[in-house]
Structure 1
Amino acid sequence: MELVANQQVQDMIEDTTNLVQKSSSKFIEANTVEVSLNHLKQDCIIPVFAKDNETTLSHFEFIDATKEIAESAFNGAFITPSIRVSHQIKGRIPSAIGKPVKELLEHEKTTYYERMAFMMEIPNRQMVVNNQILNLSIGGVRAYNQENLFSKKSIEKFKVFIGYKNTVCTNLCIATDGLNSEIRVSSIQELQEAVKNLIYNYNQESHIEKLERLSNYYLDEKQFAHLIGKMRMYHYLSKIEKQGKFPLQLTDSQIGSVVKDYFTDDNFKRTDNQISLWNVYNLFTEANKSSYIDSNLERNVNTHEFIQNIANSIENSIPNWYLATL
């Protein structure tokens, strides 16, 4: 697989006045806050396995190990991670037991975060899709709530992705082969090997082709309304009724956000009572930002596969439960 560096992004399109790019760091929202890599290294304690006091692989080690592999894989590029955390776990040192909270000194407080997500944009690895700049990005998720910290030390779970970030809205575009959500390792070396395998097995060209074709298909307002209605219905079907239908992971409230943005989003709303599948996809990924860290990546991939399923049905005139009669 060859990853192509693009130094002149604007040369890829005929009319540069229509090029849309906007910078923002919020690739995920929910209840997260932004922190620095140094904060994770210097200020946060490291959880341990309770029965043997063996340390877990820390958030800092995870990010730093991924950063090292990414910089090596992409010709020594200097990469800066954007990090967001949630579910802060607070504590205090033994000498501060019984001390009122308002009297606690900074050195008497301890903290770590149950869930962490990070993303790193690869410098000079950009593509233009549907007149919008996408930056090649790599990142990962660690959620201690998915570990059994009350046992002895065992293999630990990590999630790593490689895909694109839309610079218009910081929406992540991740395909199936760009996510490994079941990395289970016991050392940094094993983690780095898994990250390396993901990078080199990712089919960049196929992913871009699938994203580009979405602008070729449109839904009118009636078709979009039918799609949304069936999406809302899906979660209430019985297990038997769900069989044969494409599984959908967006929640009902997120589907509601998609409807709102259909009318109001500055970049992806309807035009002349119709909307492209590219815009629908970005409304989906925008809504997915409200997912908690530990479910965000899987839902992101699900939206990609869902919209590709819709595109395949339209392209090949295949009946689809989510679509009105073609």
Structure 2
Amino acid sequence: MELVVNSPLQNQIVGGEEIVSNTSRNFIEANTKQVTLEHLRKDCIIPVFAKDNESTISHYQFVQKTREIAQDLFPEFQVAEPDIRISHLIKGRIPSAIGKPAKELLEHEKTLYYERCAFVMEIPEVVENVNGNNLALTIGGVRAYNQENLFSKKSPEKFKVFIGFKNMVCTNLCISTDGLANQIKVTDVDQLSFAVEGLLQQYDREHHLGLMERMSRYLITEEQFAHFVGKLRMYQFMDKSEQKKLFPVSLNDGQINTVVKNYYSCPNFKRSDDGSINLWKLYNLFTEANKSSYIDNNFERSVNAYELTNNLVNSLQSGARNWFLHN
């Protein structure tokens, strides 16, 4: 079998301009391309578990089933077409083409699927204004075949699903702790449907909106921001035992650099003239930087950004000492 990972998709898909498109307003940017749901249905093979040849749940089934559930739970609204991002293209060929030189392969002899897939779908009629920004209710998920042991017999498959909001100013995802299920393990589509429906029903939208609105009421000075950034950099290199004593931070060093850059230059969320920045803006600097995270950990880092910001808000509200803000 011929395997190629991370090659440019435009060079690998005939008529790629109809399948893959680029946009400057993506919910995730790192190492991904945009594809259509129809492309996943028609053009992609479905991996199997090697030892018993049992089929996995395909990316198409995951996206389509989530969309159906969302539409059932919000019947008065129209769920938008999913925005699907993929990465790590796996190429192959049909059995009759074994041994044939790659340059002589015909189109019908080629196969493909994507190791990783992330998607979001808006409910555009459900829009809330928080701190002057319109946020659209959004549902999405992640599937990564690299987290499955496809060389074994069929076993529970892993999925991640979220419900939260997308900031329409910048397409940043706002995901709360109770809006993410990152450890869904199922063996069939029915179990997957049950898990997705359970998450969507338990999500507390009003509580999520209230905590995001609260962020704008607290700010840090330029000096506190500089102190905070320094502590974030220190955290990256601390011993694991020391990190466990502190609030966890999942942004990497490059993303911290992006936060600092956008603190000065972001047209929507940069600092005030006196150098201060409210925590709603800081939160959006976090979620903007998180767009560079890979599909595998994007949603978890988004939740961590939400939790970290609320940790700062709680400290400012109560006057309690916070390692990230105080000496």
TM-score by length of 1: 0.91
* Cross-structure match for 1:78: 78
1:269-314 deviation per Cα after TM superposition (whole angstroms, max 9, x unaligned): 1111111111110010011111110110111100100000000001
SS in 1 for 2:54: coil
1:59-70 matched pairs, under 5 angstroms: 59-70=59-70
Match of 2:314 in 1: 312
Q: Could you tell me which residue of structure 2 aligns to residue 26 of structure 1? A: 26
2:11 paired residue number: none
2:160 is paired with a residue of what secondary structure? strand
Runs of 4+ in 1 over 3 A off after TM superposition: none
Cα deviations by residue, 1:230-268 (Å, 9 ceiling, x for unpaired): 011112111232232101000111111111111111111
Alignment of 1:145-224 (within 5 A): 145-224=146-225
Corresponding position of 2:106: 105
Name the structure 2 match of 1:126. 127
* Letter of the 1:48 counterpart: V
In 2, the alpha carbon distance for the partners of 1:99 and 1:156 equals 34
User: Residue deviations 1:192-238, cap 9 Å, x none?
Assistant: 11111101100000000000011111111111010011011112111
Residue 281 (str. 1) matches residue 283 (str. 2): yes
Matched residue type, 2:60: F
SS of the residue corresponding to residue 123 of structure 2 reads strand
Match of 1:114 in 2: 115
Q: After alignment, is 46-55 or 97-106 more displaced?
A: 97-106
Equivalent AA in structure 1 for residue 193 of structure 2: Q
Q: Distance in 1 between matches of 2:296 and 2:151?
A: 20
Distance in 1, Cα, partners of 2:297 & 2:201: 24
* Greater alpha carbon shift after TM alignment, 192-201 vs 72-81: 72-81
One-letter amino acid matched to 2:65: A
Instruction: Measure how far apart 1:24 and its partner are.
Output: 6.3
- The CA distance in 1 between the partners of 2:38 and 2:91, in whole Å, is 18
Instruction: Compute the displacement of 1:107 (Å).
Output: 1.2
Distance 1:187 1:211 in 2: 36
- Equivalent AA in structure 1 for residue 320 of structure 2: I
Paired residue type of 1:131? G
**Structure 1 residue 100, shift from structure 2 partner:** 3.2
The range that moved more, 52-61 or 267-276, is 267-276
Q: Which residue of structure 2 lines up, in the alignment, with residue 45 of structure 1?
A: 45
The aligned amino acid for 1:50 is A
The match for 2:298 among 296, 299, 323 is: 296
Deviations 1:151-198 (Å, cap 9, x if unpaired)?
Answer: 000111110000000001100000000000011111111111111110
Root-mean-square deviation (CA), in Å?
Answer: 1.3
Distance 2:25 2:52 in 1: 39
- 2:228/2:324 contact within 8 Å kept: yes
**Structure 1: stretches of 5+ with no match in the other structure:** 1-22
Structure 2 equivalent of residue 19 of structure 1: none
Task: State the 1:109 CA deviation.
Answer: 1.1
Quote the Cα distance in structure 1 between the aligned partners of 2:63 and 2:171.
20
**Cα offset for 1:123?**
3.0
**Deviation at residue 147 of structure 1 after TM alignment:** 0.6
Secondary structure in 1 aligned to 2:48?
coil
d(CA) in 2 for partners of 1:181, 1:243:
21
| 3-state DSSP of counterpart to 2:65 | helix
Q: Is the 8 A contact 1:122 1:135 kept in 2?
A: yes
Displacement, 1:138?
0.3
Query: Which structure ranks higher in relative contact order (CA pairs < 8 Å, sequence separation ≥ 6)?
Result: 1
Tell me, in whole angstroms, the C-alpha distance in 2 between the residues paired with 1:43 and 1:76.
33
Which residue of structure 2 aligns with residue 16 of structure 1?
A: none
Contact persistence 2:78–2:125 (CA under 8 A): no
Query: Offset at 1:25?
Result: 4.7
Distance in 1 separating the partners of 2:76 and 2:126: 13
Q: Distance in 1 between matches of 2:221 and 2:68?
A: 47
| Alpha-carbon distance, 1:76 to partner | 5.3
Q: Which consecutive unaligned segments of at least 5 residues does structure 2 have?
A: 1-22
Distance in 2, Cα, partners of 1:282 & 1:59: 29
CA distance, structure 2, for counterparts of residue 106 and residue 253 of structure 1: 40
Cα displacement string for residues 97-147 of structure 1 (whole angstroms, at most 9, x for unaligned residues): 333333322211110000000000013111000111000000100000111
SS at match of 2:292: coil
Q: Is the 8 A contact 1:24 1:169 kept in 2?
A: no
